[in-house]
Amino acid sequence: MRKGVAAVEKRISYLFQLAHLCITSKDVDKDMCRYHVRNLKRISKKNVIRLHPDIKRKLCKHCDLLLYAGITAKVRVSKRPQRAINVQCIECKSVKKYPCTNPEYKLWIEKCQDGKE
Amino acid sequence: MYSPLNPEITEEARKFGLQAVKDDFVTNFLISTLPEKRIRQGELENLEYFKQNLDNKRTRKRTPKNFNRKSLTSRERRKLKLFDIPKEGHKFETYLPMHELWKEYMRETLGLTDKTKTFDQYNCESILKADFHGCFLTVSKSCCPSYIATTGIVIMETKNTFKIITKQNQVKCIPKRNSVFMFEIDGHYLTLYGNNFCCQPVLRSTHKFKPKKYVAL
């Protein structure tokens, strides 16, 4: 592992928790959430750290919001034109599609872990 | 369609010798210039339709350019006014859970949770790469006497300033130059010299800090 990466990874996870706080608290503050997520993305780019896909799936690519089902995101299931789960950001209306055509699809990370075991 | 001009203007125009343009100007111009064949075929009637359209203009719906681009441009970001913190309407209590999270984060980075390790000066290098959103700072020394003894939780950090919310629900913007900050964890007091700290929070994680001379304030 490279030197000093552990400190930056902690910082990234801390910023992610802060973004969660901004949305789940009583006063929903979407601007602060975007501020923290934007810092998160810039730090990971600057230090060349690959984010876990679970983190990436919760962030909107266009407007940097935390996608929280019900509060900031619309989760819908579609049959046509493709069987998929669609997650739409309420603010910027950009869509993330997760198609379920192949039930045996595995992410790269999951394949690695299975291979090691 | 248009209201007539003021009578004063028409009087002055008459002095210069100007005359008002008649509505039939376009048809007369076309009759004089177009060849006879085209007039016989009835092109004048078609051209009248185009003449009227200049006034009744339909605006097209402009679709936003490059909507499928992955991130916002800086112009769009400025329009949304995302990172402007309003001066009123924020309460100190909403940021207390942020402070609790920050304490746990700081204990992990400094190594205070490991009971085997002792708290040395050498642990403090990790502070340079750490995040300060949610820290309870106080200004202990500064060149400007009005900044001294302001305390509060850090909301935002920029290249040259800290934005702090005080217990009286006020948002204050304190520059880093020529001021010394202090914060406390578990009984340990740590000082930050603002002069050496002027850097964007994101770039601080890779920045190599040069040793600067300390000038007593």
The complex scores an ipTM of: 0.84
How far CA B209 is from CA of A89, B19, B125, B144, B216, in Å, comes to 40, 77, 11, 25, 20
pLDDT digit string (tens) for A89-114?
988 888 899 998 888 888 888 888 87
Q: What is the pLDDT of residue B16?
A: 80
For residue B129, give how far its alpha carbon lies from the nearest alpha carbon of chain A (Å): 7
Most confident of the following: A81-90, B54-63, B79-88, B206-215: A81-90
Q: Using a CB–CB cutoff of 8 Å, tell me whether B131 touches chain A.
A: yes
Q: What angle do CA B25, B31, B33 make, to 5 degrees?
A: 100
How far CA B212 is from CA of B46, B193, B198, in Å, comes to 80, 10, 12
Confidence check: pLDDT of B65 > 70: no
Q: What is the pLDDT of residue B153?
A: 93
- Sequence-distant (6+) residues with CB within 8 A of A71 are A23, A28
In this complex, the residue of A4, A39, A47 whose CB is nearest that of residue B201 is: A39
CA distance A19 to B93: 17
| SS3 state of residue A97 | strand
Q: pLDDT category, B66, cuts 50, 70, 90?
A: low
pLDDT digit string (tens) for B4-32?
778 888 788 778 877 766 666 767 777 77
B77: nearest CA partner in chain A: A63
Selection from B152, B107, B113, B151 nearest residue B130 by Cα: B107
pLDDT digit string (tens) for B149-168?
899 999 999 899 899 999 99
Name which of A8, A12, A18 to mutate to probe chain B: the one with the most chain B Cβ atoms within 10 A of its Cβ. A18
Confidence check: pLDDT of B48 > 70: no
Q: B63 or B191: which carries more pLDDT confidence?
A: B191
Q: What is the mean pLDDT of residues B119-140?
A: 82
Q: Using a CB–CB cutoff of 8 Å, tell me whether B96 touches chain A.
A: no
Answer whether A12's CB lies under 8 Å from A40's CB: yes
Name which of B99, B105, B154 to mutate to probe chain A: the one with the most chain A Cβ atoms within 10 A of its Cβ. B105
Q: Using a CB–CB cutoff of 8 Å, tell me whether A96 touches chain B.
A: no
Chain B residue numbers with beta carbons less than 8 Å from the beta carbon of A33 are: none
Query: Inter-chain contact A18–B134, Cβ cutoff 8 Å?
Result: yes
CA A74, distance to chain mean position in Å, is 15
| SS3 state of residue A102 | coil
Counting as low any pLDDT under 50, the low residues of chain A are none
Most confident of the following: B35-49, B63-77, B130-144: B130-144
Q: Which of residues 29-68 of A touch B (CB under 8 A)?
A: 29, 31-32, 34-36, 39, 42-43, 46-47, 61-64
- Sequence-distant (6+) residues with CB within 8 A of A36 are A15, A16, A18, A19, A22, B133
Q: What is the pLDDT of residue A105?
A: 84
For residue A42, give how far its alpha carbon lies from the nearest alpha carbon of chain B (Å): 7
Residue A77 in tokens: 């299931």
Chain A residue numbers with beta carbons less than 8 Å from the beta carbon of B203 are: 46
Q: What is the pLDDT of residue B56?
A: 61
For residue B67, give how far its alpha carbon lies from the nearest alpha carbon of chain A (Å): 9
State pTM to two decimals: 0.74
